[in-house]
């Protein structure tokens, strides 16, 4: 059977980059994959419980103001150091502020901080990893040395220094966490790129004359999404972890924004006299970080086919 | 081998040099007026000027840097800014030993325990020891140190009242007599890395047991103990040196938090204090010291790894 | 079971429990192995031969169980033994040699210890005694300086050396039964020949009974006495190897034999006859005969009843309902109406004489090995391609053959533009393309295309087949509608239906992926296609269909091929001109028939005599090369082949580069050798037909 010939043969156009059609197609595909992933995750008990806990806090952060019975910043000096009761589900702190409301509002801070810093680090890390891995040679060596130093250097110390200098703030925390995290993302992306760079479909693309950008973004990048998703989930958990730690040290978001870490720091002095001030924020942080980590572990198992 | 070590030592010197420049740049290129931040808002311009002269802020950065580095190399670490007349060297030596003790105790606790946990979990895959270790280690790596520290404190100090909450070390008495003060801080510091290393070792052991050479060993008729030790573990435990080495940096952060939670007088709480007070000389000296410690530890780990891995030695 | 039987497998069934239910991997299999006999188990991938090996060993995967049957070893049923009892047998009475020697060795343990520990455990030998025995065994396997090797680690040894170590481990306790699972598949042809010889010697010295598992009929012919042909988890034919090859009675065996592109077979003489269809998945096995969906001789009862293994005189068993019909055909002649006739052979296009399409002029490719900067010796230069000159005529096929590390892949990459040549010129259609692809003219990318080796990595896993094909087609300038039509017709031309457009690579088999890769290469209607071992990872029957496809497309489109492979049989079937490559340079080049007959370059001669071909009617010379291929970092001085050349003349081979001898004054055929032409011409051919007596 002969290969059919088209009627007219036009002169070749300029090498097109990835078209919009391809991107939209991949969006629909992405949503389908997302739904499928959730469904498969439900098979694992621990993943299911973790998703419920995560959903709970997510809900809290969204409907926060509607649920919180009091203004989280309202001082009420008559009600200081009250233990948990029907009026104050989690007790009050040294200014008489309602702990429960503070925790509910604090969840919003947590999610905003963690999500934005993870997102920024994902973007930076992906570009660095793609570029460095694909370029190879001296460029890759230098970039990797640099990220190696960043990655293994005590991250908390680094964050403390930067925030001490910049002055602690929401944006400051986001930037600092992004700077500390992007090397790990870059590493993950880079290792996929290095693995794929030598694969034959990439060489086939080169042989037909594709330019480097096409190969990086259209051929290679979609294959990084799996490992990237896993790493993103893990990073999200550590973003919560790190921002809470920074808050505890007083280097996170500043009052009046309610922050769970800061609440823990306030509670330190009163741990023997008013332990509920520490217990409830601690439980909140613990449930959130543990469930995110269990979930990312399940995602990792899914990605490697062990679930 | 000696060539390798010498080369690495040279690299450390260069890295420290670069690190000192970076540290200096970060701390000294601060937006805003240092003198202003130290003295506060309600202060006369004269006082500000006097402080600036005292700090040597009038000199160009290069001179200030050389001043500092020169001092360090001669052993003169300068004086604290926020605490009048306190020499940094005395601060660091006392607290440095405390933190070193904390770090060493944590390492001694966590390395053997995590290796043991990882090996048991890996060799008994899917059975109950594995499920227990996997779950516990996953929880351990998720909890920030101030959370686990607070929980431990709540349980053992507030509820059970068996251990003290604050680690107010008496500098007169030897540290060994005050060990009970160290229990909670040491456990808290080790938890995260314990979980992490245990998980890594576990997956390394599992991978080795699924390997073709493990199968060869079994099908040679070797007894299970020999297969496990000489074939599986010998290969599985090799990367653990690298894993521990790569995560030493984490210990530093953990120590800072734990010292703050338990009021432990070490370098970590010192550095936090210095950052809050903008006490630049302390910050610079302590961070440089930490960088040096970190680089030396990494070199030690690399040497150990090179000695153990035949593929590198030959 | 006779008293002389070492192994007696009776009615064996092995099943896997998976997400898809219980799958039967081995089906009613019986096998007897006599003392000192070698029994070959031949089958393609997925037939269950590895499962059989591990079932006999008693080391199946966790989700596999023996559901029926007995495995009698020296009269005792192995299936009834406990782990501890099996441990007493493993390594001592039953030993196994695996396919991948590198993975089978502990990377952190010295070689000597890995052999000695077997003795220490089974015999209670002292460390010193065990070590001495291990060294002695290594020496017996023709390893030079065994004491030193025993002190080394696996990563310091070559592939052939590692396999010898594994063989030493298997033979050291003088086991009664040896199971070999494709031990030479990953080795070069010359190394394989040496190992097979060695195995033959050891078997007779130790009187070991051997079960040899392979996919290669040629190897089975060389090494075994009796053979069982396996398909779909069962033996479809069993008997003495020469009988089976001369008169196969099962349609599958017959089909297999007609797929092999043997050395002296030529594309113009005979077309390969691939077996239609593909092996069924375990969960879709037909109820009756496993082979019936693909069988040209099938009847209605074949789909319902699984035939039993019937005896056909002597040792012959065949599992087929229609043996008599198959038997009636003599040899491998084509038969019934279902099979295609062979007119296409005559239609092959002849190469166009005149200015060649591709000319390589003293091309060099050198790699500076920077990582070696830190080790002793400093920077090592790897001369991957060393002064290569070639010509390819239009519409012809140049076959480039050589073993691993000879530089053929590097040469292909330089021509494709994936690497830059260090020196020399490459001229394509009178245009200079000596630079890498980024610097070439755009249209060169359309005119030169590549088909790669590994079906698993040749397609982007995140793209559908349709997307993978559309892209290069769109690059040729067609509108989306035209491109769509062309994608469909391209798929048809490689015999794939349009349902493949929306599938992802992981839903396709290896052969199907290679077809897509070929379609992709043809999408821009190139003048030259570079084929980098496209069939090396495929089963024999699939390989045959891919070769036919390549030839058909060449016939239709008039494409020129540069076909690279280490498989001499495939290359010599396909090509018009052949070049033999060793350590970076061409040692012999010329029209295929001239290269494959005397005068030979000594390396060509050795390659030909190392081949494992199942031809009972031909005698084959037995020339073996000693040692291993030198590292490309240290290419020997003078003639690079002198370290292993069986016809080495003398000092001159070490000091001077050999002259280029042209035969018959014909610049088309040359050999680089110091031996004078008259002497080379007097050499006997490697293959001589025996009289049919």
Residue C111 has a pLDDT of: 95
Model pLDDT for residues A121-131, shown as the tens digit of each residue: 999 999 999 99
Q: Does some domain include residue A16?
A: no
Model pLDDT for residues A289-307, shown as the tens digit of each residue: 999 999 999 988 888 876 6
Q: Tell me the C-alpha distance between C673 and C586, whole Å.
A: 11
Contacts of B278 in chain A (CB under 8 A): 164
Q: In this structure, what are the phi and psi dihedrals at residue C85, rounded to the nearest 5 degrees?
A: -65, -40
Q: Does some domain include residue A47?
A: yes
Let me know whether C550 and C615 are in one domain. no
A261: pLDDT strictly greater than 50: yes
Q: Please say which residue of C551, C579, C607 terminates a domain.
A: C579
Let me know whether C366 and C442 are in one domain. yes
**In whole numbers, what is the pLDDT of chain B averaged over residues?**
83
> What value does the mean pLDDT take over residues B215-243?
92
Within B154-279, where are the H helices? Answer: 183-209, 212-218, 224-226, 234-236, 238-246, 248-262, 267-277
Residue B80 has a pLDDT of: 72
For residue C399, the 8-state DSSP code is: E
* Residue A4 pLDDT grade (very low, low, confident, very high; cuts 50, 70, 90): very low
Contacts of C452 in chain A (CB under 8 A): 200, 203-204
Q: Which of B143, B261, B287 sits opposite A286 (nearest CB)?
A: B143
Model pLDDT for residues C367-401, shown as the tens digit of each residue: 875 554 444 555 667 888 988 999 999 999 999 99
Q: Does some domain include residue C323?
A: no
* Residue A3 pLDDT grade (very low, low, confident, very high; cuts 50, 70, 90): very low
Tally of domains in chain A: 1
* Higher pLDDT, residue A232 or C275: A232
Q: Please say which residue of C113, C144, C172 terminates a domain.
A: C172
Query: Which of C433, C444, C457, C559 has the most A C-beta neighbours within 10 Å, making it the best mutation to test the interface with A?
Result: C457
> What value does the mean pLDDT take over residues B67-83?
75
Q: Would you call C162 an interface residue with chain B, using a CB distance cutoff of 8 Å? A: no
Closest among C577, C686, C199, C546 to C352, alpha carbons compared: C577
Residue C285 has a pLDDT of: 81
Neighbours of chain A (3+ CB pairs under 8 A): B, C
**In whole numbers, what is the pLDDT of chain C averaged over residues?**
87
Cβ atoms C547, C535 nearer than 8 A:
yes
Strand-pairing partners, residue C365, are C385
Q: Tell me the C-alpha distance between B12 and B20, whole Å.
A: 12
> What value does the mean pLDDT take over residues C23-42?
91
- DSSP element (H, E) containing C177: strand C177-181
- A92 contact partners, CB below 8 Å, separation of at least 6: A76, A79, A80, A81, A82, A98, A99
Let me know whether C601 and C574 are in one domain. no
Q: Characterize B110-143 residue by residue with b for buried, 16 or more Cβ atoms within 10 angstroms of its Cβ, and e for exposed.
A: bbeebbebbbbbbbbeeeeebeebbebbbbbbbb
Give me the DSSP letters along A197-221: HTSHHHHHHHHTT--HHHIIIIIIH
Q: Strands C397-401 and C380-392: what pairing?
A: unpaired
Q: Tell me the C-alpha distance between C575 and C562, whole Å.
A: 9
Query: Which of C101, C102, C103, C108 has the most B C-beta neighbours within 10 Å, making it the best mutation to test the interface with B?
Result: C108
Percentage of chain B beyond pLDDT 70 is 88
Strand-pairing partners, residue C431, are C428
Q: Which domain holds residue A50?
A: 42-304
The Cα of A238 is separated from the nearest Cα of chain C by a number of Å equal to 29
Let me know whether C663 and C611 are in one domain. yes
Let me know whether C401 and C487 are in one domain. yes
Q: Would you call A28 an interface residue with chain C, using a CB distance cutoff of 8 Å? A: no
Q: Which domain holds residue C631?
A: 597-689
Structure tokens that stand for B59 in this block = 């000199």
> Where does residue C23 fall: left (phi above 0), alpha (psi -120 to 50 degrees), or beta otherwise?
beta
Tell me the three state secondary structure of residue A164. helix
Q: Does some domain include residue A102?
A: yes
Q: Does some domain include residue C616?
A: yes
Give me the DSSP letters along C436-471: -GGGS-HHHHHHEEEE-S-TTTSS-TTS-HHHHHHH
Q: Respond yes or no on whether the N-terminal peptide bond of residue C449 is cis (omega within 30° of 0).
A: no
Let me know whether C566 and C602 are in one domain. no
Q: Does some domain include residue C614?
A: yes
Let me know whether C525 and C407 are in one domain. yes
Percentage of chain C beyond pLDDT 70 is 93
Structure tokens that stand for C111 in this block = 């070689």
- DSSP element (H, E) containing A275: none
Q: Does some domain include residue A1?
A: no
Model pLDDT for residues C523-576, shown as the tens digit of each residue: 999 999 999 999 988 888 889 889 999 999 998 999 999 999 998 889 988 899
Residue A206 has a pLDDT of: 92
Strand-pairing partners, residue A84, are none
> What value does the mean pLDDT take over residues C427-435?
91
Q: Characterize A201-210 residue by residue with b for buried, 16 or more Cβ atoms within 10 angstroms of its Cβ, and e for exposed.
A: bbbbbbbbbb
- C8 contact partners, CB below 8 Å, separation of at least 6: C1, C31, C32, C33, C70, C71, C72, C73
Structure tokens that stand for C332 in this block = 């491998």
Closest among C441, C490, C495 to C469, alpha carbons compared: C490
Q: Does some domain include residue A29?
A: no
Q: Does some domain include residue A78?
A: yes
Contacts of B221 in chain C (CB under 8 A): 87-92, 118, 121-122
Let me know whether C551 and C421 are in one domain. yes
* Residue C691 pLDDT grade (very low, low, confident, very high; cuts 50, 70, 90): low
* Residue B314 pLDDT grade (very low, low, confident, very high; cuts 50, 70, 90): low
Percentage of chain A beyond pLDDT 90 is 41
Model pLDDT for residues A76-90, shown as the tens digit of each residue: 777 788 788 877 888
As a whole number of angstroms, the longest Cα–Cα distance in chain A is 92
Residue B163 has a pLDDT of: 80
Cβ atoms C392, C352 nearer than 8 A:
no
Cβ atoms C395, C350 nearer than 8 A:
yes
Structure tokens that stand for B143 in this block = 């909890």
* Higher pLDDT, residue A11 or B21: B21
Tally of domains in chain C: 3
Q: What does the angle CA C241 – CA C242 – CA C245 come to, to the nearest 5 degrees?
A: 85
Q: What does the angle CA C489 – CA C494 – CA C496 come to, to the nearest 5 degrees?
A: 80
Cβ atoms C259, C275 nearer than 8 A:
yes
Model pLDDT for residues C218-248, shown as the tens digit of each residue: 899 989 999 999 998 999 999 999 888 888 8
Q: Among A214-228, A262-276, A281-295, B74-88, which stretch is predicted with the lowest mean pLDDT?
A: B74-88
Q: Does some domain include residue C603?
A: yes
ipTM for the complex? 0.84
In the stretch 266-285 of chain B, residues with CB closer than 8 A to chain A read: 271-272, 275-276, 278, 283
Q: Among A39-43, B126-130, C160-164, C402-406, which stretch is predicted with the lowest mean pLDDT?
A: A39-43
Let me know whether C429 and C558 are in one domain. yes
Q: Does some domain include residue C196?
A: no
Q: Is the CB of C106 less than 8 angstroms away from the CB of B234? A: yes
Closest among C193, C151, C293 to C610, alpha carbons compared: C193
Closest among B254, B275, B279, B96 to B171, alpha carbons compared: B96
Q: Tell me the C-alpha distance between A265 and A251, whole Å.
A: 11
Give me the DSSP letters along C45-57: TTSSHHHHHHHHH
Q: Does some domain include residue C267?
A: no
A8: pLDDT strictly greater than 80: no
Q: Does some domain include residue A286?
A: yes
Strand-pairing partners, residue C65, are C15
Q: Would you call B210 an interface residue with chain C, using a CB distance cutoff of 8 Å? A: no
Let me know whether C519 and C622 are in one domain. no
Q: Characterize A244-268 residue by residue with b for buried, 16 or more Cβ atoms within 10 angstroms of its Cβ, and e for exposed.
A: bbbbbbbbbbeeebbbbbbbbbbbb
- C47 contact partners, CB below 8 Å, separation of at least 6: C230, C231, C232, C233, C279
Closest among C59, C26, C41 to C213, alpha carbons compared: C41
Q: Does some domain include residue C5?
A: no
Q: Does some domain include residue A299?
A: yes
Q: In this structure, what are the phi and psi dihedrals at residue A232, rounded to the nearest 5 degrees?
A: -60, -40
Q: What does the angle CA C441 – CA C393 – CA C590 come to, to the nearest 5 degrees?
A: 130
Q: Is the CB of B294 less than 8 angstroms away from the CB of A275? A: no
Give me the DSSP letters along A242-274: HHHHHHHTT-SSPTTS--HHHHHHHHHTTTTT-
Q: Which of A46, A155, A166 sits opposite B249 (nearest CB)?
A: A155
Q: CA nearest B307 in C: which residue?
A: C108
Let me know whether C550 and C639 are in one domain. no
Q: Respond yes or no on whether the N-terminal peptide bond of residue A256 is cis (omega within 30° of 0).
A: yes
Could you tell me the CATH number of the domain that includes residue A194? Answer: 1.10.3720.10
- DSSP element (H, E) containing C653: helix C651-655
| Residue indicated by tokens 């049923």 | C77
Q: Does some domain include residue C233?
A: no
Could you tell me the CATH number of the domain that includes residue C505? Answer: 3.40.50.300
- C548 contact partners, CB below 8 Å, separation of at least 6: C271, C272, C274
Contacts of B276 in chain A (CB under 8 A): 164, 250
Let me know whether C393 and C493 are in one domain. yes
Model pLDDT for residues C600-635, shown as the tens digit of each residue: 999 999 999 998 888 888 888 889 988 788 888 888
- DSSP element (H, E) containing C267: none
Beta-carbon count within 10 A of C475 CB: 21
């Amino acid at each position: 059977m002969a290969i059919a010939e088209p009627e007219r043969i036009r002169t070749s156009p300029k090498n097109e980059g990835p078209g919009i059609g391809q991107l939209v197609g991949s969006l629909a595909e992405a949503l389908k994959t997302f739904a499928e992933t959730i469904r498969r995750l439900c098979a694992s008990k621990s993943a299911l419980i973790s998703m419920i806990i995560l959903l709970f806090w997510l809900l809290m952060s969204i409907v926060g103001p509607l649920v919180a019975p009091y203004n989280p910043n309202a001082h009420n000096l008559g009600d200081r150091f009250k233990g948990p009761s029907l009026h104050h589900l989690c007790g009050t702190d040294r200014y008489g502020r309602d702990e429960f409301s503070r925790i509910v509002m604090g969840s919003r801070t947590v999610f905003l901080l963690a999500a934005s810093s993870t997102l920024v680090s994902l973007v930076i890390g992906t570009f660095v990893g793609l570029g460095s891995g694909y370029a190879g040679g001296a460029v890759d060596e230098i970039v990797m040395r640099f990220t190696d130093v960043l990655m293994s250097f005590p991250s908390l110390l680094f964050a403390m220094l930067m925030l001490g200098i910049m002055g602690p703030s929401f944006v400051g925390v986001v930037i600092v966490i992004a700077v500390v995290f992007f090397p790990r993302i870059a590493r993950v992306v880079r290792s996929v790129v290095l693995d794929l760079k030598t694969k034959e479909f990439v060489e086939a693309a080169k042989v037909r004359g594709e330019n480097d950008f096409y190969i990086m973004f259209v051929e290679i990048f979609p294959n990084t999404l799996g490992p990237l998703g896993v790493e993103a989930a893990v990073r999200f958990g550590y973003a919560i972890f790190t921002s809470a730690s920074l808050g505890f040290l007083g280097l996170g978001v500043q009052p009046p924004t309610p922050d769970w870490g800061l609440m823990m720091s306030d509670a330190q002095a009163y741990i023997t006299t008013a332990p509920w001030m520490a217990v409830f924020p601690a439980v909140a942080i613990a449930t959130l970080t543990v469930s995110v980590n269990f979930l990312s572990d399940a995602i990792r198992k899914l990605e490697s086919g062990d679930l | 081998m000696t060539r390798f070590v010498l080369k690495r030592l040279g690299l450390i010197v260069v890295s420290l040099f670069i690190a000192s420049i970076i540290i200096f740049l970060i701390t000294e290129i601060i937006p805003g007026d240092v003198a202003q931040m130290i003295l506060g808002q309600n202060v006369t311009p004269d006082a500000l000027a006097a402080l600036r002269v005292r700090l040597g802020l009038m000199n160009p950065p290069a001179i200030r840097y050389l001043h500092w580095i020169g001092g360090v190399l001669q052993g003169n670490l300068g004086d604290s800014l926020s605490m009048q007349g306190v020499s940094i060297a005395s601060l660091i030596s006392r607290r440095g030993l405390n933190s070193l003790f904390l770090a060493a105790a944590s390492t001694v606790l966590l390395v053997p325990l995590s290796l043991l946990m990882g090996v048991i979990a890996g060799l008994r895959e899917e059975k109950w020891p594995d499920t227990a270790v996997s779950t516990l280690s996953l929880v351990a790596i998720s909890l920030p140190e101030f959370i686990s520290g607070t929980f431990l404190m709540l349980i053992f100090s507030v509820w059970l009242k068996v251990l003290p909450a604050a680690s107010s070390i008496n500098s007169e008495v030897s540290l060994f007599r005050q060990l009970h003060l160290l229990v909670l801080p040491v456990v808290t510091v080790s938890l995260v890395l314990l979980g992490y290393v245990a998980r890594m070792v576990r997956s390394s052991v599992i991978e080795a047991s699924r390997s073709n050479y493990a199968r060869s060993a079994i099908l040679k008729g070797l007894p299970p103990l020999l297969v496990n030790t000489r074939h599986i573990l010998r290969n599985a435990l090799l990367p653990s040196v690298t894993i521990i080495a790569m995560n030493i940096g984490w210990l530093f952060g953990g120590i800072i938090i734990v010292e703050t939670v338990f009021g432990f007088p070490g370098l970590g709480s010192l550095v936090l204090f210095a950052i809050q007070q903008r006490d630049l000389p302390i910050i610079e000296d302590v961070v440089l010291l930490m960088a040096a410690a970190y680089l030396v530890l990494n070199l030690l780990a690399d040497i150990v790894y090179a000695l153990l891995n035949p593929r590198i030695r030959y | 079971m006779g008293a002389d039987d070492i192994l007696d497998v009776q009615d064996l069934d092995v099943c896997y429990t998976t997400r898809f239910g219980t799958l039967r991997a081995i089906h009613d299999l019986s096998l007897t192995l006599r003392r000192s006999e070698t029994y070959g188990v031949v089958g393609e991938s997925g037939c269950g031969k590895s499962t059989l090996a591990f079932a006999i060993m008693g080391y199946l995967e966790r989700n596999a169980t023996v559901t029926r049957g007995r495995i009698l070893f020296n009269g005792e049923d192995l299936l009834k033994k406990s782990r501890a009892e099996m441990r007493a047998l493993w390594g001592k009475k039953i030993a196994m040699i695996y396919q991948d020697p590198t993975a089978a060795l502990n990377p952190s343990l010295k070689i000597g210890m890995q052999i000695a520990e077997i003795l220490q455990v089974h015999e209670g030998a002292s460390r010193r005694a065990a070590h001495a025995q291990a060294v002695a065994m290594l020496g017996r396997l023709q390893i030079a300086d065994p004491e030193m090797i025993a002190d080394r680690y696996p990563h310091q040894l070559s592939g052939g050396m590692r396999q010898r170590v594994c063989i030493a481990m298997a033979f050291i306790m003088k086991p009664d039964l040896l199971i070999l699972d494709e031990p030479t598949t990953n080795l070069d042809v010359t190394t394989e020949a040496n190992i097979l010889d060695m195995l033959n010697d050891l078997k007779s010295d130790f009187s070991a009974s051997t079960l040899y598992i392979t996919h290669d009929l040629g190897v089975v012919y060389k090494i075994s006495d009796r053979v069982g042909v396996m398909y779909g988890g069962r033996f479809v034919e069993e008997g003495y190897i020469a009988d089976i090859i001369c008169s196969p009675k099962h349609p599958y065996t017959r089909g297999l034999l007609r797929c092999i592109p043997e050395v002296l077979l030529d594309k113009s003489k005979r077309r390969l006859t691939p077996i239609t269809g593909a092996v069924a998945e375990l969960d879709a096995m037909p109820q009756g005969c496993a082979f019936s969906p693909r069988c040209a001789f099938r009847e209605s009862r074949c789909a319902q009843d699984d035939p039993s293994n019937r005896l056909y005189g002597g040792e012959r068993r065949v599992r087929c309902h229609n043996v008599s019909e198959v038997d009636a055909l003599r040899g491998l002649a084509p038969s019934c109406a279902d099979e295609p006739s062979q007119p296409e052979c005559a239609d092959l296009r002849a190469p166009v004489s005149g200015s060649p399409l591709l000319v390589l002029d003293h091309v060099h490719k050198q790699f500076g090995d920077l990582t070696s900067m830190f080790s002793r010796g400093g920077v090592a230069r790897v001369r991957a391609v060393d002064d290569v000159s070639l010509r390819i005529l239009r519409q012809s096929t140049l076959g480039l053959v050589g073993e691993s590390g000879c530089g053929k892949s590097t040469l292909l990459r330089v021509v494709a533009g994936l690497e830059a040549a260090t020196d020399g010129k490459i001229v394509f259609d009178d245009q200079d393309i000596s630079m890498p692809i980024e610097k070439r003219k755009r249209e060169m990318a359309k005119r030169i295309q590549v088909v790669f080796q590994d079906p698993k990595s040749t397609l982007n896993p995140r793209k559908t087949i349709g997307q993978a094909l559309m892209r290069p087609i769109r690059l040729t300038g067609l509108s989306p509608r035209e491109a769509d039509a062309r994608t469909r017709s391209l798929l048809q031309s490689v015999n794939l239906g349009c349902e493949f457009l929306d599938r992802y690579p992981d839903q396709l088999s290896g052969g199907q992926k290679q077809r897509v890769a070929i379609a992709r290469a043809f999408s821009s209607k190139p003048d030259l296609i570079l084929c980098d071992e496209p069939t090396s990872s495929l089963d024999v029957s699939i390989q045959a269909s891919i070769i036919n496809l390549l030839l058909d497309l060449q016939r239709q489109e008039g494409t020129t091929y540069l076909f690279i492979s280490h498989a001499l049989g495939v290359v010599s079937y396909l090509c018009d001109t052949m070049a033999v490559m060793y350590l970076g340079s061409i040692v012999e080049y010329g029209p295929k028939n001239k290269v494959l007959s005397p005068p030979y370059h000594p390396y060509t001669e050795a390659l030909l005599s190392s081949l494992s071909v199942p031809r009972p009617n031909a005698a084959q010379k037995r020339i073996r090369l000693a040692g291993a291929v030198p590292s490309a970092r240290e290419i020997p001085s003078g003639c690079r082949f002198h370290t292993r050349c069986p016809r080495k003349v003398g000092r001159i081979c070490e000091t001077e580069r050999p002259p280029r001898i042209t035969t018959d004054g014909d610049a088309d055929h040359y050999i680089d050798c110091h031996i004078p032409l008259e002497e080379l011409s007097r050499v006997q051919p490697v293959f001589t037909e025996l009289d049919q007596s």
